Chains A and B, each alone.
Chain A
Amino acid sequence: MRIAVLRPQVPFSRGGAEIFTDRLVDELRVRDYETELVTLPFKWYPGARVLTQAFMWRLLDLDEADGNPIDVVVATKFPSYLVRHPNKRVWLVHQFRQAYELDRTELGQFGESTEDRALRRKVQDLDRVALGEARRLFATSRNVADRLERSTGLTAEVLPHPPQGLPYRCTGYGNFVLSVNRLDRAKRIDLLLEAAALDSSLEVVIVGDGPDRERLEGLARERGLDGRAHFAGRVGEDELAELYGRCLAVFYAPVDEDFGMVPFEAFLSEKPVLTTTDAGGPLEVVADHRTGLVVSPDASELARAAGWLRDHRDEAASLGRAGKAVAAEVTWDRAISRLLA
């Protein structure tokens, strides 16, 4: 069977969707499916470019390649699912969020002019039409599926996927809380820094890079966290696995996140996850005092929760082990079998 996995690319940028699709291609190939990754650059501004760039996917002919049929296409993210194919399956990472829940927030894109408002609706129309054509429609999390149902009326089956393959292990429960994320405002790393400012014995290690890094480093300096907040930048796989293995817990609290692989990576390292009640997708696997701690998005509550884990390391280990059992249920074998059924 020949499978094309479809993914838009934002040149010079890499995140969870890229890790996921690369891994999907690898896992399909391991199972002897002839698989190719198909990508197109995507730029969503200014004005109607979000539509014209998306439309490029519609002009592709992926029915066959060099005279041989492509049996299945698996689209993942807006706008790759605009492609036409008789056996189009969508494993939805997320829609174009600026047109939905991020609209009229500081992360939104569309203004109040009649043209901008109509533009946003056109993006929604594209979703309704293109996702409605899919032969099978999956979402990476309940949160993504619920958003889809609310916005388009379409129903997706929830199909989570395992995180990236790292040499996961647990080497103890150290003194620091680890954050692994792209550094942008929606990931809310500042909440962790503010918590560290309130608890002088809380140490944090922040892995990742992004447009919010300068502001976050400035905030750490302002709060006098030098020495207790370490910005590690991008790290290699071995170093990442080592940090997961040593940390006390993993902080992961973006605003209404789609899914997020970080909790699964933490669990596979037997670490509890610290998250917030408004984090969205992570709450599907992080249960308070079962696999982590869930607090309101407030620095003092977060500081208290981190302090509790530091003072109760056996319980922290127990929560981490419970998380590992949750993560073990999500396997590529199961996911691919449902995807291609």
Chain B
Amino acid sequence: MKVAYFSPMPPEKSGVADYSALLLPALEERIDVSVVRHGRKRAPRGVDVTLYQVGNNPDAHAWIVDALRRRPGVVVLHDFVLHHLVAGMTVGRRDGHAYLDAMEAEHGVVGRLLAHGVLDKRIPPLWESRPEDFPLAGFVLGHATGLIVHSDYVHDLARAAGYEQPIWVVPHPAWPVPDVAPERVSPGPAIGCFGVVNASKRIPELLRAFSGVRQRHADATLLLVGPTSPGFDLDRRLQRLGFADEGIVREGWVDEQRLWALMAGVDACVNLRHPTMGETSGSVVRSLSLGKPLVVSDVGWFSELPGDVALKVPVDDLEVETLEAGLELLATRAEVRARMGAAAADLARRQHDVNRVAERYVSALEEAAGGDAVADAVLMEVSEAAADVGISPDSAEAGEIAGRLAEVELG
């Protein structure tokens, strides 16, 4: 089978580029993949399926969606909320009308009016202030002949948005663990938080919860690794909570090797999120591979992690208290960490192994290429047999047969 593959690729700095760099060798062992050069708008001729990796970053993905809109194909949806991408492809190209149309298509007249407000600078850009309320996924879904998603959560969102084509849930692949020496940042218990430091990663809540843990366990350390988002005043927050000199180890952007070393050196990882854009977390997948116990927000894909792998913190009035209890548990109970860590490593092997993921990709692509012909053949034979015994297409019996076909995904 021949597949045209649209994706950002290294050296582009993009999570999806890293993802494709990991996945492609395993895919190429199984099928004939032709990676389309950045900026090309057309797939090569003679391919059976065209595959588009789509995320929310317009710099990385606008050209891919341009190609998708010319030739529909299977879309790998890395984020469900695509407002930022759509804004980049419309407002960013000085095409305000297209933005108005996109908002109206999915959110009606109210959407159009709000979009006018954004264009007239009467309200803050929705892609920054409320993207989760206006995901604009239809901009892409309308051209997708099938979807590959990483979670049941996004699967359900797509269905709720009225998407009726096939959807395959394929886990995010795990990177092989490199041979690095763990880098410990403290002799006492260390909790690591890896990724961009900002409010949507619940860093304020994390700092408050960890401050509570520190009051009872002065030897505990929180390692924060990742760049700080513009406008997020981390230093002031640290000062206010009394973390000025100790308790927190801060690292900005680090390269991949150092990231692994630091992650390998902590006792547990915390990865919080709200709101979620339907994304998975490469950082969480890495920590699973390392067999680290996790604390996550009970939202989106993160909710789907098994309970024996991750402590899940609801985003509610008791978020900080629940988080504090979870962090304390993992900071102080080695046997809990060992049990959860073993379950995490097992999950990485079973669900996120890159070869298994590639196999599921191929399965999805093979169904995308030939599934319609198979479905037609099945329906033809079943409907002929039904007609032979006098079952008419609009009868209750035909409805029951259709229901049974749907149950086993044959109709």
Contacts and interface: CB of A to CB of B under 8 A. Distances in A.
5 contacts: A48-B374, A48-B378, A51-B378, A58-B405, A117-B369
The 10 closest A-B pairs by CB, nearest first: A118-B370, A114-B370, A48-B377, A117-B366, A114-B369, A115-B370, A115-B373, A52-B381, A118-B371, A58-B404
Contacts of A122: 367, 371, 374, 409-410
B408 A130 contact: yes
Contacts of A120: 366
B374 A118 contact: yes
B367 A59 contact: no
B363 A121 contact: yes
Contact of A48 (B350, B367, B381): B381
Interface in B340-387: 350-351, 363, 366-367, 369-371, 373-374, 377-378, 381-382, 385
B377 A121 contact: no
Interface centre among A84, A113, A114, A153 (most CB of B within 10 A): A114
B152 interface: no
A125 interface: yes
A59 B389 CA distance: 15
A166 interface: no
B29 interface: no
Contacts of A130: 408
B369 A118 contact: yes
A84 B407 CA distance: 10
A14 to B, nearest CB: 28
Nearest to B377: A48
Contact of B410 (A51, A116, A117): A51
- Which of the four size classes fits the interface of chain B? 20 to 34
B177 interface: no
B408 A121 contact: no
Given A51-B378, A125-B408, 11 more contacts: A55-B404, A114-B369, A116-B370, A117-B1, A118-B366, A118-B371, A118-B373, A121-B363, A121-B371, A126-B408, A130-B408
A174 B371 CA distance: 57
Contact of B363 (A48, A84, A115, A124): A124
Nearest to A117: B366
A108 interface: no
Contacts of B363: 121, 124
Contact of A52 (B370, B373, B382): B382
Q: Is the interface of A mostly helix, strand, loop or mixed?
A: helix
Interface in A112-150: 113-122, 124-126, 129-130
Interface string A47-67: 111011001001100000000
A117 B359 CA distance: 13
Interface residues of A, number: 26
Contact of B407 (A114, A117, A129): A129
A171 B374 CA distance: 56
Interface string B42-54: 0000001000000
Nearest to A122: B374
B374 A82 contact: no
B123 interface: no
B386 to A, nearest CB: 10
Q: Is the interface of B mostly helix, strand, loop or mixed?
A: helix
A49 B401 CA distance: 17
B367 A121 contact: yes
Contacts of A58: 404-405, 407-408
Given A58-B404, A59-B404, A114-B1, A52 B378 contact: yes
Interface string B310-345: 000000000000000000000000000000000000
A215 to B, nearest CB: 33
Contacts of B373: 114-115, 118
Interface centre among B350, B371, B409 (most CB of A within 10 A): B371
A44 to B, nearest CB: 14
A118 B49 CA distance: 13
A53 B407 CA distance: 16
Contacts of B404: 55, 58-59, 84
A119 B408 contact: no
B408 A114 contact: no
A64 B44 CA distance: 56
B401 A59 contact: yes
Interface centre among B366, B367, B371, B408 (most CB of A within 10 A): B408
B269 to A, nearest CB: 25
A129 B409 contact: yes
A114 B48 contact: yes
Nearest to B363: A121
A130 B410 CA distance: 12
A49 B381 contact: yes
A119 B407 contact: no
A52 B383 CA distance: 11
Interface string B223-254: 00000000000000000000000000000000
B86 to A, nearest CB: 32
Contacts of A114: 1, 48, 366, 369-370, 373
Contacts of A121: 363, 366-367, 371
A218 to B, nearest CB: 38
Interface in B48-107: 48
Nearest to A120: B366
A55 B406 CA distance: 11
A115 B408 contact: no
A119 B370 contact: yes
Contacts of B374: 48, 51, 115, 118-119, 122
Contacts of A84: 404, 407
A82 B407 CA distance: 10
A55 B369 contact: no
A125 B370 CA distance: 14
Contacts of B377: 47-48, 115
A285 to B, nearest CB: 26
A124 B409 CA distance: 11
A267 B369 CA distance: 49
Contacts of B367: 118, 121-122, 125
Interface centre among B1, B405, B410 (most CB of A within 10 A): B410
Contacts of B350: 153
B408 A129 contact: yes
A119 B407 CA distance: 17
Contacts of B366: 114, 117-118, 120-121
Contacts of B407: 58, 84, 129
Interface in B394-409: 401, 404-405, 407-409
